Amino acid sequence: MCNDIMVSVIIPVYNSKNYLENTIQSVLNQSYKNFELLLIDDGSTDESGIICDKYKELDSRVKCIHQPNGGISHARNIGIENARGKYIAFSDDDDEMSPECLKSAVAFAEKEKLDLVRYNYRHEYIDGMVIKKVRRKAFPKEIVEHISTWNDYMKVIRCGQVVWAGIYNRNFINHNRIRFDETILYGIEDYIFIISCIMQSKRTGILPECLYTWKQRKAHSTSCITSREAFDNRLMAILKWIDADEQVQKHVRMTEIDKNLRNHAYAERIISETIICNLSLKETNRIINDLKQKINFKKMTFKAYCRVDHKQKIKYLCVDISIPIYIKLYKIWFHHKAIWKR
């Protein structure tokens, strides 16, 4: 019976033979057993598809769909269409779920009748043999109903605009026709999906436990794609993210300080993308100036500066006064610290 399955775990798979088995095992090792695992092989050219088929034969809960490469958003949408569980969870093909992930999230969702559950996660940045654990801020367990203020919105967003940091009621997803934007090919596809879920959810639960490990690998990440085509697609995705956020701002009460901080976050993200793709300073300035006109950008106020930590103060100050200095600091900090906290 379809209703007997409580959770559908969806993993889009693409050329991840070195990490995929650990990811699959982290799902199969869940203390909560009532789930199905949907492996969506998105046209892999390595042995990933063979690994998917192997686990399908080993465990009846594993389903495998092979398809031509269509991108991560298309693969996730195929997973949603084929899911049978009451709830949907996602994992990337090189990360790991904690053993209690599904048990904790499902128990919370069932007890509180939640549309979605968001939970904390561990973040490991991996460069070869070097693993850097990135500290994430703690937050309390709570339930947010009918988001009406920017503060409510940020309570949910602080869990991360990443699709794998939560579970989603499947009926809620389908009723509101929430899907991934398949025109977005190189990351940020999570953001718009998450925003749609948050704004349409009547009850969202937040769990402080770290129930997932994001293994950000330097050589296996959409954030490391440096072609001009990739940049153009990511810029398009960021602009769609901004448009989605602007729709949020029409429905929630937001202070001028909040708007100021949000606009600086947009500018900083786009500058970071231009650095990754090695765009010229002239082109970076043109793109940022266009953005500033689009969002009615204003320099940081003193009160806004007081709301962020020291590193963020420096980054936002550079956005205001000197993009070349920002670029130099980014390269220094990225090289020596492995990652800038975004």
Average pLDDT over residues 314-333: 86
pLDDT score of 340: 39
Tell me the pLDDT band of 131, cut-offs 50, 70 and 90: low
Whole-number Å distance between alpha carbons of 92 and 134? 18
Among the listed residues 146, 142, 282, the one whose alpha carbon sits nearest the alpha carbon of residue 208: 142
Angle subtended by helix axes 48-58 and 20-28, to nearest 10? 20
Instruction: Please give the residue that has the higher pLDDT: either 155 or 330.
Output: 155
pLDDT score of 339: 41
Whole-number Å distance between alpha carbons of 318 and 327? 9
Tell me the pLDDT band of 337, cut-offs 50, 70 and 90: very low
Average pLDDT over residues 136-142: 86
Q: What helix, strand, coil percent values describe the chain, rounded to 5? A: 50, 20, 30
Element (H, E) at 290: helix 281-294
pLDDT score of 205: 97
Average pLDDT over residues 17-42: 97
Q: Are 19 and 82 in contact (CB under 8 A)?
A: no
For 32, other C-beta atoms within 10 Å of its C-beta total 16
Phi-psi group of 71: left, alpha or beta (phi > 0 → left; psi -120 to 50 → alpha; rest → beta): left
Q: How high is the mean pLDDT of the chain? A: 88
- 158-191 per-position pLDDT tens digit: 888 899 999 999 999 999 999 999 998 877 889 9
Write the DSSP string, 139-192.
---EEEES--BHHHHHHHHTT-S-TTSEEEEHHHHHHTT----TT--SS-HHHH
Q: For a pLDDT cut of 90, what percent of the chain falls above it?
A: 52
Average pLDDT over residues 97-113: 98
pLDDT score of 25: 98
Q: Which residue has the tokens 């919105």?
A: 153
- 287-298 per-position pLDDT tens digit: 999 999 988 899
pLDDT greater than 90 at residue 200: yes
- 224-271 per-position pLDDT tens digit: 555 777 788 888 888 898 888 888 888 888 888 988 998 998 898 888
Whole-number Å distance between alpha carbons of 311 and 313? 5
- 201-228 per-position pLDDT tens digit: 999 999 999 999 999 876 554 445 557 7
Tell me the pLDDT band of 141, cut-offs 50, 70 and 90: very high
Residue 340 identity = W
pLDDT score of 51: 98
pLDDT score of 33: 96
Show the domains of the chain with their CATH numbers: 2-217 (3.90.550.10), 255-337 (no CATH)
**120 Cβ contact list (under 8 Å, min separation 6):** 136, 138, 139, 159, 165, 207, 208, 209, 210, 211
User: What's the burial of 135, exposed, middle or buried (CB within 10 Å: 0-12/13-18/19+)?
Assistant: exposed
Whole-number Å distance between alpha carbons of 28 and 59? 9
> Would you call 199 helix, strand, or coil by DSSP?
helix
Element (H, E) at 126: strand 116-127
